[in-house]
C-alpha cells in the first residue's frame, strides 16, 4: 500500500475488536470502505461490532480468537485470506492489564499479561508477515502505549509488555528493511477511558481510574486509522506526549518521582474492590462498550496545578539532600587541631 492510498476496498484485521479501541477503530475502518475481519474472545460482542461496521458502510466478518493460542491466530489469518483473498492491514490491538506490584499477585497472572499483549502480537506478526511478503505490501500496526517508553508503578507486567512491543516493531522493521511497501508502525497513546480499568485484573484492593489528562478512545482510533492510511514508524497520541517523554529523558529522577506521587494519589479511588483476575483468563461478562466508566478522579486543570506544586517540592527536597551531602553535620572541638 502506498503511503497516501485510500483505504477503500482494503482488508483490515483487528484483534481485540470486541470493545474499546478495537471496536471503535474497526467501525472507522468500515466507514472508510474497508472490509474488516474482527477477532476477540467474545462472540456476542464481536457480532455487535460487526453490525456497527456494516451500518457504517463497510463489510465485516468475525471469528472468535484467543491471541495467546497459535492455532487460533493461524485460523484467523486463513479465515481472512479465504474470505477476502488478501490482508492489507493487521492491527495487533488485543491487550489485558493487571493492577498489582510485581511482587504481588500470582506469577501466572503476570505471565498472562505478557502472553496476551506480547506473545499475541508476535503470533500475529508471524502469521501476517509471510502474507505481506507474498503480496509485496502491507501495514502492521502494533498498539503499544506511552508506557512502552516510560515506566509506571502498579502495572509492571503491562509496562514490560508494551516496552517489548516496541522491540518487536524495531526487529521487524530491520527484517523488512528491503521491502519498501511493507510498513511496521507503533502507536503510543496516553491513557484513554475504556473498560480497561474495569475489566483488568486487580490485586490492589481499590478501583483503578484513568489518569488525567485522559482522552476519548475516538481520538486514538482516528490516529490508528490515519496510521494505516499514512504509515510511519511511530505515532504518539496526543502528539504532545513526545514532549513529556523528552522531559523524562532530560530529568528522569524528577519525572519518575512525580509519576510515583501521581499514581499513589489519583490512580485508585476510595472504593474497595475485591481481588480479581479480571479478564486475564476469560472474557468479562456484561455489555461490551467503547467507553468505560472509570474517569479520572481529578480534573486536568486541578491535576496540572497539583503537579506543579509537586515538582517544586521535589526540587526543594533534592536541593536539601544535596546540601546535606556537602555540609559537615558536626564541628571539631575548639583547639582540637592545636592539641594534635
Q: Is 108 exposed, middle or buried (0-12, 13-18, 19+ CB in 10 A)?
A: exposed
H or E element that contains 187: strand 182-189
Task: Using DSSP, state whether 244 is helix, strand or coil.
Answer: helix
For cell 553535620, name the residue.
329
Q: 271 φ, ψ to 5°?
A: -65, 125
Reading the block at residue 277, the C-alpha cell is 483476575
Cα 93 to Cα 13, 124, 143, 159, 261, distances in angstroms: 10, 10, 5, 15, 29
Reading the block at residue 28, the C-alpha cell is 472507522
Cα-trace Rg, the chain: 23
Q: 12 φ, ψ to 5°?
A: -125, 125
Distance CA 120, CA 97 (A): 14
Query: Which residues are known catalytic residues?
Result: 158
Reading the block at residue 54, the C-alpha cell is 456494516
Amino acid at each position: 500500500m502506498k503511503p497516501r492510498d485510500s483505504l477503500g476496498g482494503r482488508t483490515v484485521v483487528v484483534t481485540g475488536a470486541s470493545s474499546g479501541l478495537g471496536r471503535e477503530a474497526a467501525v472507522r475502518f468500515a466507514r472508510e470502505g474497508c472490509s474488516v475481519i474482527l477477532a476477540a474472545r467474545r462472540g456476542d460482542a464481536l457480532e455487535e461490532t460487526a453490525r456497527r461496521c456494516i451500518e457504517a458502510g463497510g463489510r465485516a466478518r468475525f471469528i472468535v480468537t484467543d491471541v495467546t493460542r497459535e492455532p487460533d491466530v493461524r485460523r484467523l489469518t486463513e479465515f481472512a485470506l479465504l474470505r477476502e483473498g488478501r490482508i492489507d492491514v493487521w492491527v495487533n490491538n488485543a491487550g489485558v492489564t493487571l493492577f498489582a506490584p510485581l511482587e504481588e499477585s500470582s506469577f501466572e497472572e503476570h505471565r498472562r499479561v505478557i502472553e496476551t499483549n506480547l506473545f499475541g502480537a508476535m503470533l500475529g506478526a508471524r502469521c501476517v508477515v509471510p502474507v505481506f511478503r507474498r503480496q509485496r505490501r502491507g501495514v502492521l500496526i502494533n498498539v503499544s502505549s506511552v508506557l512502552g517508553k516510560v515506566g509506571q508503578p502498579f502495572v509492571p507486567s503491562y509496562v514490560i509488555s508494551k516496552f517489548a512491543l516496541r522491540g518487536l516493531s524495531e526487529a521487524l522493521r530491520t527484517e523488512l528493511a528491503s521491502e519498501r511497501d511493507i510498513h511496521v508502525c507503533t502507536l503510543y497513546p496516553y491513557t484513554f477511558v475504556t473498560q480497561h480499568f474495569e475489566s483488568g485484573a486487580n490485586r490492589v484492593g481499590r478501583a483503578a481510574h484513568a489518569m488525567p489528562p485522559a482522552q476519548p478512545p475516538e481520538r486514538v482510533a482516528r490516529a490508528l486509522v490515519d496510521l494505516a492510511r499514512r504509515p510511519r514508524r511511530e505515532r504518539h497520541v496526543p502528539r504532545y506526549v513526545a514532549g513529556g517523554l523528552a522531559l523524562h529523558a532530560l530529568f528522569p529522577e524528577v519525572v519518575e518521582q512525580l509519576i510515583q506521587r501521581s499514581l499513589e494519589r489519583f490512580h485508585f479511588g476510595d472504593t474497595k474492590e475485591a481481588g480479581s483476575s479480571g479478564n486475564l483468563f476469560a472474557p468479562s461478562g456484561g455489555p461490551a462498550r467503547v467507553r468505560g466508566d472509570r474517569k479520572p478522579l481529578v480534573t486536568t486543570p486541578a491535576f496540572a496545578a497539583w503537579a506543579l506544586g509537586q515538582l517544586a517540592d521535589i526540587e526543594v527536597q533534592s536541593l536539601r539532600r544535596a546540601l546535606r551531602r556537602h555540609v559537615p553535620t558536626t564541628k571539631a572541638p575548639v583547639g582540637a587541631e592545636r592539641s594534635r
